[in-house]
A and B are shown apart, each in its own frame.
Chain A
């Protein structure tokens, strides 16, 4: 019994269905938990703001972000102005969004204490608050009230509009009030039922685009028009009586079209036929109470309700639901005719759907003996039917079916496609294309005008589609020869040299701008602009290249049907919008039948899918489906920086960027790419909405981030953030100057010291040269040489061994003197060797007359240094200036201590003084003074001449 009822219900609930938009509910919190949305706004950057009973939310298409406030009351009003979002609350508080939180705006003097119903802003930085206590005009945070004490007809103000010439108009519980500021005085004029206002409670006032009228939305009587210039209110005639209740919002979308919503749960499309007639198309939203309407930039009609928000597709897409027994996946052919009927076939049955009817129900029109493969409706209201194996038939407007048999070969042909131009019928079979005349009125005779075959010029006998374009040219989709175009008796073909790369073409269409689009096997779509072919594929958002149907509406949208869903081309955005199961509209068309689409008389495209027909509507508005990216915050070491901070210290170099993508068309496909100019020059693609750069060095940077639905990134909707990281203090100018000065000072000191030393050295060298000169002069002194040689001569006679020894010593003496002369200091041992050689020479001459007493340790000899030839010179001086004889022997005493060496001899002067006396001693003294601070001492002590040389 229950089954029977169910069957009956199914049967009666069947077909007749009205065209309706896709509606999808979005829940702000968890699924199915209502949040009452009182206000809704789309800001210029693309965010949708929602004022709810539990506060403010910001929506980017995939996430509702709560915007915290300290007011904690229901948000009842929103407005965008002065670069910010103003937020009105149920307790009269006013807030403004700043850095992702609502900051309360302080209003001095008069401020509201009850619900703010709406907020208005204009360029003059005035903020108007419509409240239960009248209007508050807020200028520079000072509130000025306009209420019944100023002459307002009622204090409860729902909305207002700003008129030219410093006038505003307020909608109240008792009519509308025009408020003008004249000579600093308010002049208020009210229009009520006495002036023809249908209903005194006017809740909504909205400007009609391109006109000087306003829509009025009322509590009881629906909508009306108001023209402030003529101070006129009138109610147009409605196509059906107003039964939809209190108007909650009116959203004008075009000059002659608006959406309205009512408390009773209705969404109404209002079409203004003329200023006195409005066609109303109602739709019930179930248990939702719509509060507010916004049309987003992607074309979505957003409806704020007491449950959340709903997506309504009606501005670009709708559907006609159609259930059993019609299986739309079984449809094999479709066509729309001139009377706005859509014809379609299932197997061998032909149906018709009247698009003019409000409730649409398919009618079965004919049954053919064979399965139907294609349909064409001509201007005479005949429907041409291609069959599988029985050629072509036509159905005349009276319903009579005629099988075309008079043409040889066609009667039993399987037909791939039928197309028509004004006076020709084009039929594609398995043997090429035939061009026929239409049946003549009386004889019904049809004539073969031309055969288009593979060899005749189309390159293939298998033509999937014949497409006459708007210029009357015939395009053919062939299997094997790509796309061919027949124009005035000539065939045109394209190949890879023209950018066309496919041999197999399934389907052809022409878009609203005149471009030709073709579906190729494997290569996706090609678009021909009259000059060149461009491949349109995945990088334009096409989700699948295995396309079965392509169709174009009148306004530039091109619809591609494939196994993964349906893609619709948005010419303004230069990319496809994708529809599939994931969108929540439950669209899932799997029809693999080629060219399965129909158009109505206006050019809207009908595509069958599992649950009915999708209508891709003509879109007069330039909707934009491209995503937009916005910077949300910038953090240093994960700590959020205040907005506008652009300069960082050298150690604030761990920087994170948080960004946010806005896409309402296909948010699930949103991806990002970013680049930090000044750090790296390549783009990095990511799904994340945050990126961190841990160790940035000093410099100027620009962070850029772009969003895309299909990896075709562009500058559109890009967000960027420029900043600098300062140099560390040691790299700043003042520090460098300081260090530079220090280096210069040090260099100056170094140079001056070195110069002084060099001067010292050079004078030392000079002194030494003088000394050497004098010394050599003294050594080659003829007396010394003469004496030495005499001694040698004697020795040769007396003792030849000693003579050899003497000669060796003499040569040693001269060699040593030569090798040490250019040194500043030599070891005492080295000097001692010179002295020993010298003394040996002199002792050979003087014998015992010359005595030497030495007190010197070996340690001192090898650790201390002395000016070269000094000892030798002093001994020589002693010998030179004193009597050395057997009678008066000369005893020279040499005593070395740690610090000095003393040479002493008794004073027994010669009678004849030798020349150059004192020169050598002075020279030694100078050399010591250049080498060290230690001074030499010489002088007579107790009849003894003493020279004391410091040891170094």
Chain B
């Protein structure tokens, strides 16, 4: 009897979650993230096409992730090495992530262009900060496009800059993301 009820609950749960998956969950198909540092002495650009993530269009929640070591660009291989080893410590903290909710009362199940604020925990260098980020979401033909740019202050994430590179590394880094999401099958 107990077994029977448990199976029933499981089946119902699966059914509900499969309904949700079928209709509401979008997954990044192509996603890129890039950043630049505009210091008086040096301009640094890097980007990665490996942005991953999912959006629950009904619940208006999301998770995005990036493998930090996948950033390419920089002005020299040495700079990239410093980025990975000294500043981001990618061995210790391989991933950066942003998970949260969409504040604005929008319906992502309907086609349109929405300027929204998203709020969540931005985790970089192993530290989490509550962040509100402005984003533009375009829903069209069953496809969701997200574009956003925001600033990351190195001090907020306890990323220490040696004094000698004060002029070469900006304390605030501009970050841009662009992603296209498709329904998850």
Contact = CB atoms under 8 A, between A and B. Distances in A.
B155 A173 contact: no
Given A34-B155, A173-B103, A173-B119, A201 B130 contact: no
Contact of B117 (A34, A220, A306): A220
B169 to A, nearest CB: 14
B103 A115 contact: no
B53 interface: no
Nearest to B155: A34
A287 B104 contact: no
A203 to B, nearest CB: 10
26 contacts: A34-B155, A36-B155, A36-B156, A115-B130, A132-B130, A156-B119, A173-B103, A173-B119, A174-B103, A174-B105, A193-B105, A200-B103, A200-B104, A200-B105, A201-B103, A201-B117, A201-B119, A201-B132, A219-B117, A219-B132, A220-B117, A246-B132, A287-B171, A306-B153, A306-B155, A306-B156
Contacts of A201: 103, 117, 119, 132
B55 to A, nearest CB: 18
Contacts of B132: 201, 219, 246
Contacts of B119: 156, 173, 201
Interface string A223-247: 0000000000000000000000010
Contacts of A306: 153, 155-156
Interface residues of A, number: 15
Given A156-B119, A246-B132, 16 more contacts: A34-B155, A132-B130, A173-B119, A174-B105, A193-B105, A200-B103, A200-B105, A201-B103, A201-B117, A201-B119, A201-B132, A219-B117, A219-B132, A220-B117, A287-B171, A306-B155
A156 B120 CA distance: 11
Interface of A: 34, 36, 115, 132, 156, 173-174, 193, 200-201, 219-220, 246, 287, 306
Interface of B: 103-105, 117, 119, 130, 132, 153, 155-156, 171
| Leading 8 A-B pairs by shortest Cβ distance | A173-B103, A219-B132, A201-B103, A34-B155, A200-B103, A173-B119, A306-B155, A201-B132
Contacts of B105: 174, 193, 200
B151 to A, nearest CB: 10
* Main SS class of interface, A: loop
A571 B171 CA distance: 46
A246 B130 CA distance: 14
Contacts of A174: 103, 105
A514 B117 CA distance: 57
A132 B171 CA distance: 29
A115 B130 CA distance: 10
A34 B153 CA distance: 13
Contacts of A173: 103, 119
Contacts of A132: 130
B107 to A, nearest CB: 15
B88 to A, nearest CB: 20
B166 to A, nearest CB: 12
B40 to A, nearest CB: 14
Contacts of B171: 287
A749 to B, nearest CB: 86
A228 B106 CA distance: 28
Contacts of B103: 173-174, 200-201
Nearest to A115: B130
Nearest to A34: B155
A229 B155 CA distance: 43
A201 B117 CA distance: 10
Contacts of A200: 103-105
A399 B153 CA distance: 55
Contacts of A36: 155-156
Contacts of A246: 132
A174 B132 CA distance: 13
A173 B131 CA distance: 12
A609 to B, nearest CB: 33
